Amino acid sequence: MRNSLFMTLLLSLGLGILSAACLAAEPEVLTLKPQLKKGDSFTLQITRSRQQTRGSRDISGQATLLADITVLEAGLEGYVVSCTYRKTRVEGAEAEQIKANPASKILLDMWNNIPIHLKLSPDYAVTGLANYEAVRKAMDASTEKMLAAMAFDAEKEKALRQTVSQVVSSEQLVSQLVARELAIYLSFNGDFAKASDAKVSNVEFPSPYGGDPLPGKCTTKVESTDEKKSKAVVVRESEIDGESLREQVVKTVQDMDRKAGRQPMADDQIPEMEMRDLTRAVIDLKTQWPQTVQMERITVSGPQKRVDGTKVVRLSAGADFQDEPKEKADSDAPSNGKAVPSDGAK
């Protein structure tokens, strides 16, 4: 149980890192400089979907979360942003997994109602937590409360406690897990080239595991603009070096096993890996903030192939879940009328 749960967490960590590293392209044709101001408040609706192949089985499902965002501090040296997950709902395989394994519900809801104060650099990259100790203590209390409500045997309860303990074992790990979709949303700032001028760049992606930067390639381009609707569509393609990724995953898992007093996982238990992204953002040119961001990540680990989808929609502060009509679900902008103009309105 511990290895499968933790490997899922490790692979999901990377969701933000490929996006955050690809901020610029030349020649300059579209410059985005969205502004965060102290007191700005909005809600992000985050939908995480997955399609996974295990042998002959295809598994799919999704979870949707609401995250309330408030800018607590803003200055020349950066920002402090509060991120509080408020609600979660699940469908398909995710709901079936929770029925079969209630422990997965704890891992999904573990951050709910805990204010997490993220530190951002001047260009909105997540650099750490301003309240790590408070978050760690709140996580421990939340876990104990959820465990008390579930009838787990001693072995399963111990394994779950160890997994949660590993998740909150470092400030960097917590900030990467909590801020992955926010980091994707905030990453669309800088200069972007039109599609015909876009070039492949060799880049280094910051490692979420605390190791050396991970080498890879990235292309970012302006797919289209619509001046009448004040919209632009920006597309980013990223690929990380699989061997470098695997080496860091192996080291991270083995180090955490040692800290927990367990026999370290053998190198050959973690197969070769591939990881690549396609991210598409619809930008409001008046405010320069994304209205929606959609990302598809393909991860190959040995014989297993997993496709993770992420969709982030900006809503007014405190909004509830907003569903798009099926016939408009693939349109450029949310159709419910409640996805706010991204001006930080409270």
CATH number at residue 31: 2.30.230
Label residue 248 left, alpha or beta by phi (over 0 means left) and psi (-120 to 50 means alpha).
alpha
Binning pLDDT at 50, 70 and 90, where does residue 158 land? confident
E strands along the chain, which residues? 30-32, 41-54, 57-75, 78-92, 116-120, 126-129, 190-194, 201-205, 214-226, 231-240, 273-284, 290-301, 304-315
| Domain extent for 262 | 2-315
Q: Is residue 338 included in any domain, yes or no?
A: no
What tokens appear for 41 in the block? 């408040």
Lowest mean pLDDT segment, chosen from 5-9, 59-63, 74-78, 220-224: 5-9
Q: Is residue 346 included in any domain, yes or no?
A: no
Lowest mean pLDDT segment, chosen from 2-6, 110-114, 237-241, 248-252: 2-6
Q: Is residue 344 included in any domain, yes or no?
A: no
| pLDDT tens-digit readout, 47-91 | 999 877 666 666 678 889 999 999 999 999 999 999 999 998 888
Q: Is residue 179 included in any domain, yes or no?
A: yes
Lowest mean pLDDT segment, chosen from 19-33, 145-159, 281-295: 19-33
Q: Is residue 288 included in any domain, yes or no?
A: yes
* Number of separate domains in the chain: 1
- Which pLDDT score, from 0 to 100, does residue 323 have? 82
Binning pLDDT at 50, 70 and 90, where does residue 299 land? confident
* Phi, psi (rounded to 5 degrees) for 313: -120, 130
- Which pLDDT score, from 0 to 100, does residue 25 have? 42
The percentage of residues in the chain with a pLDDT greater than 90, rounded to a whole number, is 38
- In the block, residue with structure tokens 């080498």: 215
330 has pLDDT over 90: no
Q: Is residue 334 included in any domain, yes or no?
A: no
Q: Is residue 62 included in any domain, yes or no?
A: yes
**Contact criterion met (CB below 8 Å) for 312 and 46:** yes
Please provide the distance, in angstroms rounded to a whole number, between the alpha carbons at the two ends of the chain.
43
Q: Is residue 324 included in any domain, yes or no?
A: no
